[in-house]
Chain A
Amino acid sequence: MGRRTAIVAVGQTDFVSRRLDVSMPEMIREAVDRCLTSKGLDLHAVDAIVVGNMELFEGVNHPELVWVDAIGAAGRPLFKINTGGTVGASVAIMCYYLVSSGMYERVLGIGYEKQSEGESQSAITTVGDPVWERSVMAGAIGNFAVMASTYVHESKVTPEQAAKVAVKARTNACLNPHAHLKMPDITVERVVNSRVLALPLRQLDMCPTSDGACAVLVAAEDDAQRLTPKPAWIAATATAHDQQFMGDSPRRLADMRTLQTVAASVYGQAGITNPVRDLDVAEIYEPATYAELAMYENLGFCAKGQGGVLMDKGVTLLEGELPVNPSGGVLSTNAVGATALVRVAEAAMQVMGEAGEHQIPGARTALATGYGGNAWTEGLILKGDRP
């Protein structure tokens, strides 16, 4: 293991469906400034930058060059990460590698997206193999619907149990000033009667598309504690991939082997033997309601096939034993390049005691995950106590 490393500052823009008032670099800089000024810092405090997004969504190739001033990279070492939906978690883990290894003292990680500026549903099909997969793709929604159908077939999860995830997310979002979809009046009935996209998925079962950006500052050892009295110490990181083609892992929700691998790894590193007892809060990358229920099972929050029952019991509600996505999660806010970094930032805010109205009292141990193309999965455990 390298140096003890922590997230010391986070910054987010408010997420909305369309930021017409700012250009991409102006929006990114908003998150960077919010991150640094929260601890009285500016870019002079930063040694290196890690940045990532979904480039084809906005059609800007080499965005790290085009927006170099916004990300603060002129004259500094810059690392671009490009791992699809997981990119924000990859950015955070890369910051950890760079600081923990001793290569850099303070690294700024940035994730961003303006989904309103492009055609993300079609752009996302270009993640498919051009020879084998693109002629038979149905975008993110068709893909998720097929995966969810397998999970529903095996687990017998009901639409009402899935709807409870949507209600939890959009209700929690009302307490998060940065969240996009805030729905104080949402009910299970509204969710199960919302427009069919591709069964079992209805409109309110899916994440929105958002514009927004997120930034985190990572530092090590005593420097981290000089920058903030309560850093979010990075106790564990892990990443895992699946096979080449989507059909190689058809049970991707029902049996998420990448998530199981990541969970076993980060729990082992952080000394977690019973996640519901040992974790105080989780911020997981749930692009659809059914995905969150399947993730409960594969993260070991409950036994196989019991994701819906766990939701029924209220264990993952804000006041439950293990609150999941008090921020409102991906179901409320989804600017893809920022999404997984928001999970990490929100987990950090919880153990730093900076989560405001959606703070889980006394949170000391938090899980954050990222999820993306072909089940690429990443996980981090953050702790309030210095390792």
Chain B
Amino acid sequence: MNSPSDVIRLEYHANFEYDYAAGKYASTFMAALRDTAMLLGTRCTNCSRVLVPPRPICGICAAPTSDWLQVGPRGTVTGCTVVEVPFIDPMTGVQRPVPYGFAFIKLSGADTNIYHFLEESRPDKVRVGMTVEAVFRETRTGSLADIVHFRTVEGVS
């Protein structure tokens, strides 16, 4: 058929709310983070890697984990950027202020990495290999957001 002269558009706005159970492993981790500002991982019984986030099974070995170990709060940056493109934070529904540092961080004692924010937001001051340290909130609720960000540790490569 021929195209109509008017292009009609329909707007739709939704605000879906979810309520997730964190589960046994995350609850143990989040409670330790909230109560003692301590970060924990679990060790694979086969390959001995220390996995963060902690979990019951090592995905590579399909083997159970056993010990809980403390990791961090220092870590090494294994990948990093400074995000300058505006982006709506799905947790808050508002645009996260730019620029902000964003990195993969391998916590000391861990064999995997976590994503988190960097205090540093100057592109020439973030680099792979730098040492960083978690900055914890005064009032913690039991979430990865209890870490404000990771600050650069000066004088350590």
Contact = CB atoms under 8 A, between A and B. Distances in A.
Contact of A135 (B81, B82, B88, B143): B143
A119 interface: yes
A59 B12 contact: yes
A133 B7 CA distance: 39
B43 interface: no
Given A146-B103, A150-B104, A248-B59, A137 B115 contact: yes
B156 interface: no
A246 B144 CA distance: 15
B155 interface: no
Contact of B84 (A21, A150, A196): A196
Interface string B62-106: 000000000000000011111111011011000010001011101
A250 interface: yes
A121 B81 CA distance: 17
Interface string A229-262: 0000000000000011111101100000000000
Interface magnitude class on chain B: 35 or more
A38 interface: no
Given A130-B18, A138-B87, A20 B81 contact: no
A354 to B, nearest CB: 29
A142 B87 contact: yes
B140 to A, nearest CB: 13
Interface residues of A, number: 43
A139 B100 CA distance: 13
Interface string B97-124: 0001011101000001111110000010
Nearest to B80: A149
Contacts of B114: 136, 245, 247
A153 B103 CA distance: 14
Contacts of B36: none
Nearest to A197: B85
Interface string B44-61: 000000011101000110
B115 A136 contact: yes
B121 to A, nearest CB: 11
Contact of B22 (A119, A131, A145): A131
Nearest to A196: B84
Nearest to A21: B3
B85 A198 contact: yes
A146 B112 contact: no
B81 A245 contact: no
Contacts of A121: 87-88
A145 B55 contact: no
Nearest to B21: A131
Contacts of A250: 78-79, 104, 106, 112-113
Given A141-B83, A146-B115, A135 B145 contact: yes
Contacts of B87: 121-122, 138-139, 141-142
Contact of B14 (A59, A137, A196, A201): A59
A261 to B, nearest CB: 13
Nearest to A129: B53
Nearest to B100: A138
Nearest 8 pairs between A and B by C-beta? A247-B113, A145-B81, A150-B79, A153-B128, A243-B59, A146-B79, A197-B85, A198-B81
